[in-house]
Amino acid sequence: MSGWQPVRRTRAFEDVIARIEERIAGDGLTVGDRLPGERQLAEQLQVSRSSVREAMRVLETLGVVSSQVGRGPDAGAVLTARPAGALTDLLRFHLGLASLSLEEVIDARLMIEQWSAARAAGHGADLSALSDALERMDRAATAEDFVEHDTAFHVAIAEASGNRLIAAMMRSLRDSVRRYAIEAVERLGDTGGLMTDHHLIRQAIASGNPSEASAAVETHLRRAYPDIFRAPVTSGPPGADDRGRGEDQARSEDRGRADG
């Protein structure tokens, strides 16, 4: 009687999630469809309404459903497609927990943005969103305002790549580090250099030059985050020495906090 695998206890709400996922993947359900009400779902799946609600919270967190109170066609739980919100929350929390560092996030942003810019330059993409964002940045009065339209500019680049996953990642990366971006702009004081970069990026994409677009993006991020890109980015990421462990090994014995 040994060697038995400790069967992972399945919780009721996990069953509910699995059943809903079955319906989505198996047949039928797609974005815009409504799920049964919580009470009805509870009765159908023979669980309590509490368990159904916990399942709904999970699905809502994943950006898969959206719940509306009241009555009518829009009420209830509706299948949606909002991957970016979940990613943003995830990044924000894990930045706070220091299970991700700002360096890693900015570094990932450089990867995504270089790739997006090169991809956008490779095919004739609609760049009107870029131009709009540039104009709005010119008229921005505060750092918050500037960063808002700056984010729109960079997200537009990712969207111009044509890959929605990449675009969602870009949006989340920007949203999760919003306050750091505002600090960076305030620290720089003058946004003239950033705007010069922006126009160079736009021109490179418009003229269909992928490598030039990629280079312009790198120049831009180096200017915005000089502290993070002290060393050449192509010769090693920040803190590459003690990494490479599985994510589950992070435990309290090896945490080193900066505060007192």
Q: Which residue ranges make up the site for DNA (CB under 7 A)?
A: 9, 11-13, 35, 37-40, 42, 46-51, 53-54, 56, 67-77
Among a copy of itself, DNA, none, what binds residue 2 when CB lies within 5 to 8 Å by partner kind? none
Contact status, residue 130 vs residue 202, Cβ threshold 8 Å: yes
- Name the residue nearer to DNA (CB basis): 35 or 167: 35
Q: Among a copy of itself, DNA, none, what does residue 38 contact (CB within 5–8 Å per kind)?
A: DNA
Q: Which of 18, 31, 39, 40 binds a copy of itself (CB under 8 A)?
A: 31
Shortest Cβ 8–DNA spacing (Å): 10
Between 77 and 117, name the residue whose CB sits nearer to DNA.
77
CB 82 within 8 A of CB 72: no
Beta strands 65-68 and 76-79, pairing class? antiparallel
3-state helix, strand, coil in the chain (%, to 5): 65, 5, 35
Ranges assigned E (strand) in 74-210: 76-79
CB of 223 to a copy of itself, least distance (A): 21
Query: What is the footprint of a copy of itself within residues 171-190 (CB under 8 A)?
Result: 171
156, 129 contact by CB (below 8 A): yes
> Which residue, 55 or 173, is less far from DNA as judged by CB?
55
User: Nearer to DNA by C-beta: 11 or 255?
Assistant: 11
3-class secondary-structure state, position 257:
coil
Give the 3-state secondary structure of 153-180. Answer: HHHHHHHHCCCHHHHHHHHHHHHHCHHH
Interaction residues for a copy of itself, span 58-77 (CB under 8 A): 58-64
